[in-house]
Amino acid sequence: MEDKPRGLIVTADDFGLHERVNLAVEWAHRRGVLTAASLMVGARAANDAVARARDLPELRVGLHLVLADGDPVAPRCEIPALLDTHGRFGDKMVRDGLRFFFLPQVRKQLAREIRAQFESFARTGLALDHVNTHKHLHLHPTVLGLILDIGRDYGMRAMRLPLEVSAPPWLKPWISVVRLRLAREGIVHNDFVIGIARSGQMDELALLAALQALPCGVVEVYCHPALAGPSPLSPRMRFYRHADELRALISPRVAAEIGAAGIRVGGFSDVLSRQ
C-alpha cells in the first residue's frame, strides 16, 4: 500500500438525530473541513437534515442504517421481533446478533427494516454517497449480507470499512473477510477509519494528531459534531464532547494541516472514484 495515493473523507455521523447536530453539520461543511454526513432517516430531525443537505450541493450524504439503539422506519407491527417494549431497537447487540443469525423470522423482519431505510433515503432525492451502520453493525455477517443484497437495488456503491490502524489483533481477520466480501460485490470502501477509539472525543488536538499520522490509502475520519445544549443528545452520549468536535472541524489549524498535506478530499464518490 506504500505507493497508493492518499485520500481523506471527513464524515459526521448521526445527521438527523437532532437539530443541534444538523446545524453543526452545516457549519462544519460551510466553514470547515467536513465533506460528508451519514443520515439517520428515521430520526426525529431527519427532515430538517434533508432540507439542509439540499442547500449544500457539495456535501456528500450517505445512509446511516440504524438497527440498534434507535427508532425504526418500517411499521412497528411488521417488525415486532426487532423491537423492545418501547417500540425501539434495543442495545443488546450480542443477543440480537445471535437472533439475526439463527432465526429466519427475525432475518425476514431485519430485511424489511433495512429496505425501508434504503427506500426512505431514496425518497429524499439525495445522491447516495455511502452506507454505514450505527454501532458498526454491518460487521455482522447477516446484516452485511442483507445490506449488500438490498443496497444493490438502490445504487449503493460505497461502504465504510471500520478498521482503525490500532484495531485489536482479534478484529483484523474478520475485517479482512468483510473487505473481501465488499470487493467481491464491487463495493468500494476506505482503507482505514479514524474515530472509533475516540468516539465523541475528536477534538482539535486529536484531529491534528490523526492528520499528522495518516496511513497511506483512503482514510475516513468520522466525528459526532453538535451544538452545545442543556442535555445530552442521548443517554449514551452523555460523555460526548460534541461542541469540541465542531470546533475541531472549523479550526483553521486543521484546515491548514489538510491543505499542507496535499490530500485529496471529498466524499466516497469523490475520493474513491479517482483511484
pLDDT in tens, 234-248: 988 999 999 999 999
- SS3 state of residue 203: coil
Residue percentage of the chain with pLDDT more than 90: 91
Q: pLDDT-based confidence at 29, cuts 50/70/90?
A: very high
What single DSSP character describes residue 125? T
Alpha-carbon span 30 to 140, nearest angstrom:
35
Alpha-carbon span 169 to 151, nearest angstrom:
30
Q: pLDDT-based confidence at 5, cuts 50/70/90?
A: low
Is the CB of residue 64 less than 8 Å from the CB of residue 133?
A: yes
| Domain 7-274 in this protein, CATH class | alpha beta
pLDDT at 94: 85
pLDDT at 273: 73
Quickly count: other Cβ atoms within 10 Å of residue 125's Cβ.
9
Q: pLDDT-based confidence at 1, cuts 50/70/90?
A: very low
Is the CB of residue 53 less than 8 Å from the CB of residue 275?
A: no
Q: Region 113-137: what's the mean pLDDT?
A: 97
Q: pLDDT-based confidence at 23, cuts 50/70/90?
A: very high
pLDDT tens per residue, range 45-82: 999 999 999 999 999 999 999 999 999 999 999 999 99
* First CA to last CA distance, the chain: 13
pLDDT at 19: 98
Of 93-97, 143-147, 159-163, 180-184, which gets the smallest average pLDDT? 93-97
Question: How much is the mean pLDDT over the chain?
Answer: 95
Q: pLDDT-based confidence at 190, cuts 50/70/90?
A: very high
What single DSSP character describes residue 266? S
Q: Per-residue b/e over 1-19, b at no fewer than 16 CB within 10 Å?
A: eeeeebbbbbbbbbbbbbb
- SS3 state of residue 77: helix
Quickly count: other Cβ atoms within 10 Å of residue 48's Cβ.
17
Q: Region 139-165: what's the mean pLDDT?
A: 97
Q: Region 108-120: what's the mean pLDDT?
A: 98
pLDDT at 2: 46
Residue percentage of the chain with pLDDT more than 70: 97
Residue 172 has pLDDT above 70, yes or no: yes
